[in-house]
Amino acid sequence: MTGISASPAPAPQTIELTRPDRAVLRGLRWRCPGGARAVVVHGLGEHAARQRNVAEFLARRGFDVVAFDHRGHGRSDGARGALRRSENLVDDLAAIVDSTASAPILLVGHSMGGLVALRYALAHPETVAALVLSSPALDPTLSLGQKLLLATMSRLAPDLAVGNGLDASKISHDPAVVRAYREDPLVHDRITARLARFIVDGARDAIERAAMLAVPTLLLVAGDDRLVSPAGSRRFAQRAPRGRVDERVYEGLWHELFNESEPGRTRVFGDLGVWLDARK
**Tens digits of residue pLDDT in 187-222:** 999 999 999 999 999 999 999 999 999 999 999 999
Confidence of residue 102 (pLDDT cuts 50, 70, 90): confident
Residue 134 predicted with pLDDT over 60: yes
List C-alpha distances in Å: 2 to 5, 78, 149: 9, 35, 47
Annotated active-site positions, please?
Answer: 111, 225, 255
Instruction: Encode pLDDT of 232-267 as tens digits.
Output: 999 999 999 999 999 999 999 999 999 999 999 999
CA 115 distance to own-chain centroid: 7
Show the domains of the chain with their CATH numbers.
13-278 (3.40.50.1820)
Confidence of residue 163 (pLDDT cuts 50, 70, 90): confident
Three-state SS for 101? coil
- pLDDT score recorded for residue 5: 44
Neighbours of 198 (CB within 10 A): 23
Q: Are 275 and 218 in contact (CB under 8 A)?
A: yes
Residue type at 101 in one-letter notation: A
Average pLDDT of the segment spanning 158-168: 88
- pTM score over 0.75: yes
Averaged pLDDT score across all residues of the chain = 93
| Rounded Cα gap, residues 117 and 138, in angstroms | 12
Average pLDDT of the segment spanning 70-91: 96
Residue 149 predicted with pLDDT over 70: no
Q: Are 158 and 192 in contact (CB under 8 A)?
A: yes
| Rounded Cα gap, residues 147 and 190, in angstroms | 19
Weakest mean pLDDT among 7-16, 19-28, 91-100, 142-151:
142-151
- pLDDT score recorded for residue 40: 99
Q: Are 122 and 209 in contact (CB under 8 A)?
A: yes
